[in-house]
Amino acid sequence: MSKQYTVAVAGATGAVGVEMLKCLEQRGFPVKHLKLLASKRSIGREMEFAGEKIKIEELTQDSFAGVDIALFSAGASRSREFAASAVAAGAVVIDNSSAFRLDDKVPLVVPEVNPEDVKWHNGIIANPNCTTVLMLVALKPLHDISPIQRIVVSTYQSASGAGAQAMDELVNQTRQYLEGEDLVISILPHQSAFNLFSHNSAIDEASGYCEEELKMVNETRKMLHDPRIRVSATAVRVPVLRAHAEALTFEQVRKVSVEEARQALAKAPGVKLVDDPKANYFPMPLDASDQDEVLVGRLRDDLSSDRGLSLFLCGDQLLKGAALNAVQIAELLIRRG
């Protein structure tokens, strides 16, 4: 592409921000000038991009003059505080937080699922929650064959979803456990190493579901443009560094055969079919880590329904679940002019 863009990354020093820089560079995004923005404590640090060392600047209301695209991954409160300033300066904000996902005036986009929704943005485009991204990349090609009416999903979520400090805590706790030391628990509420526990987001008293589970319900309905889809989610933290896994059972309007589903997934964008029953080889977090695609397998009939299928998937939470999807939205924007 001949045109180049001034890009800002807000939250550049965080786990997702670091991956955003890698994605921009590896995918050859046409960057004319890059601004790296973070909190005051990061001022003076340098990060490398395309062989150049770039100094980190403090994220302020005045950070976005001349910026074309602003990738936000600094948390919901920072997005609410600074996104309007970026839009007022002429930038399009692609926000990785939960701040705007359910705002009726803000499109919620996964390029493989609902690329057409970028057309009606008013300066802000929201990146969905990581679990919803991975789930819908796998389900959209099957939804296109026969509309999905009901989804039951259990997630097995890596430490990266809670940030770089949670990843460090898992590594440190693993070492402490193996060396017989007392485990230090400070970032996540329970021991991460050799343990799993219900997702640590707040429980909604009315429904009994946690915030993470309700995100999957509401975001799925918004992106598939169908408020009638029934979704029940159970979210669990597991001792994995950076790739989420999900077990899905879903019902469709008409029965789709396992072979028909397999053929649709084999040619679907963003999906890699990993489905070898003879070798008992299916998606694993180890294989999904550092990969762009969502790995999908364990395709089988749902024995409890005459219109149901089940599958298992894994995807890199930092990449397709966050940074990569944001950069793909930016690519979609510039392709559409």
Instruction: Quote the Cα angle for 245-234-212, to 5°.
Output: 85
Mean pLDDT score of the chain: 97
Provide the token pair at 171: 């590594």
Query: Where does the pLDDT of residue 44 fall: very low under 50, low under 70, confident under 90, or very high at 90 and above?
Result: confident
Q: What angle do CA 191, 206, 238 make, to 5 degrees?
A: 20
Which two three-digit tokens encode residue 242?
Answer: 């950076």
pLDDT value at 337 more than 80? no
pTM of the full structure: 0.96
- For 137, the 3-state DSSP assignment is helix
Q: For the segment 112-149, what is each residue's pLDDT rounded down to a tens digit?
A: 999 999 999 999 999 999 999 999 999 999 999 999 99
The DSSP 8-state label assigned to residue 309 in this structure reads E
* Domain ranges for the chain: 5-127+322-335, 132-317
What span, in angstroms and rounded, lies between the C-alpha atoms of 62 and 84?
Answer: 11
If you compute the radius of gyration of the chain from its CA atoms, what whole number of angstroms results? 20
- Which of the following is catalytic: 130, 143, 199, 314? 130
Whether residue 296 is predicted with pLDDT greater than 90 in this model: the reply is yes
The CATH H-level (homologous superfamily) assignment of domain 132-317 is Dihydrodipicolinate Reductase; domain 2 (3.30.360.10)
Asked if residues 321 and 73 have their Cβ atoms less than 8 Å apart, the reply is no
| Amino acid found at 189 | P
Would you say 130 and 314 are in contact if contact means Cβ atoms under 8 Å apart? Answer: no
Overall average pLDDT of the 26-44 stretch:
95
121 Cβ contact partners less than 8 Å away, ≥ 6 residues apart: 92, 106, 107
Give DSSP secondary structure letters for 262-298.
HHHHHTSTTEEE--BTTTTB---HHHHTT-SSEEEEE
- The pLDDT of residue 2 is 73
**Averaged pLDDT, 227-245:** 98
- Tens-place pLDDT, residues 175-197: 999 999 999 999 999 999 999 99
Q: How far apart are CA 233 and CA 236, in angstroms?
A: 10
* 33: annotated active-site residue: no
- Same topology for domains 5-127+322-335 and 132-317, yes or no? no
Given a contact cutoff of 8 angstroms between Cβ atoms, the answer to whether 12 and 37 are in contact is yes
Q: Report pLDDT for 336.
A: 81
- CATH code for the structural domain at 5-127+322-335: 3.40.50.720
Active-site option among 121, 143, 199, 244: 244
The candidate with the shortest Cα–Cα distance to 45, out of 55, 30, 36, is 55
pLDDT tens digits, 101-113:
999 999 999 999 9
244 classed as catalytic:
yes
Which tokens go with 157?
Answer: 């979520």
